[in-house]
A = this chain, B = another copy of it.
Amino acid sequence: MELEQYQHFLVLAQTLHYGQAAQNLGVSASALTRSIQKIESTLGHALFIRDKRSVRLSQAGHVFRAHALEASKGWAELKDHLAQENDSPTGDLKIFCSVTACYSVLPDLLAPFRRAYPGVQIHLQTGDAADAMSKVLDGVADLTITAVPDQLPSRCVFNSILKTPRVFIHSANDPDAALYREGQALDWSKIPMVLPERGLARERIDECFAALGIRPKIYAEVSGHEAILAMVNLGFGVGVVPALVLEKSPYHNTLSILPSPKFSKPLAPYDVGLCMLKRDMSRSPLKQFWDLVLTLGR
């Protein structure tokens, strides 16, 4: 008997409505049906009386409800008890992190986590954000802090931590710097740009320009926000990076922000968050990390 099924039962016992209970639980109605059927089958008693129009607890259902409540309470008490033990939870935590996230959001998460769970061994690996998802899917990393992917694999869950606008930047070293500073309307099809080589960021930028019928003039394609900053700083062109990346970089007072082109469809902000496997939501110390991030977010 799964503890999760107890929860299914308890919610259904309250709502007395499969569709609604399923929605509350975040599962499909068929999954809920089968959870209940499975309990009934192991118990040998019908827990609910369904007469096609209404659902209500049977006698055995009431008995089981008392048990399920008791069991849930026992489980909660256990966790309390363990939390108050002097020894903190143990385990390994393999984090994969883009450099961007490593500079920007990671410190704010890792410090309190370390304080709360000193027994957890943390392995931190940085790398290209494009690899983040596959690292998690392959089990090389337990969780990753990175931009929200174009489409989340079904096995993963994502929790946004912060959003920061994307800004267009240029350097005083740029031959055209004077032009940019005048604040006039710019012809974006003629401005040399430093853009990401691939990945979600590049796609979004291309889409936004395309919506205006503009084919940007690409001076360089590079990999990684930090590389963009470096190139732009050398005066090679105009780049696009998340504002936060600029702020945390050593170039933040040598580079200037340009007003964004008048996109019909605005460039979505850079959304960075936590991503891990659904499966691990119930596992330690991943659950602890996830929960901590939630509390910090509020």
Interface residues of A (CB under 8 A from B): 1-3, 40-46, 59-60, 63-64, 67, 70-71, 74-75, 77-79, 81-82, 85, 87, 89-91, 282-285, 287-288
Contacts and interface: CB of A to CB of B under 8 A. Distances in A.
Contacts of A45: 82, 85, 87, 89-90, 284
A41 B82 CA distance: 13
B85 A1 contact: no
Nearest to A288: B44
Contacts of A70: 74
A2 B38 CA distance: 13
Given A2-B2, A3-B1, A63 B42 contact: no
Given A41-B284, A284-B42, A284-B44, A74 B74 contact: yes
Nearest to A41: B283
A46 B79 CA distance: 14
A68 B41 CA distance: 23
Contact of A42 (B42, B90, B283): B283
A64 B82 CA distance: 8
23 contacts: A1-B75, A2-B2, A41-B284, A42-B283, A43-B79, A43-B82, A43-B89, A43-B284, A44-B285, A45-B82, A45-B89, A59-B85, A59-B87, A60-B87, A63-B81, A63-B82, A67-B75, A67-B77, A67-B78, A67-B81, A70-B74, A71-B71, A74-B74
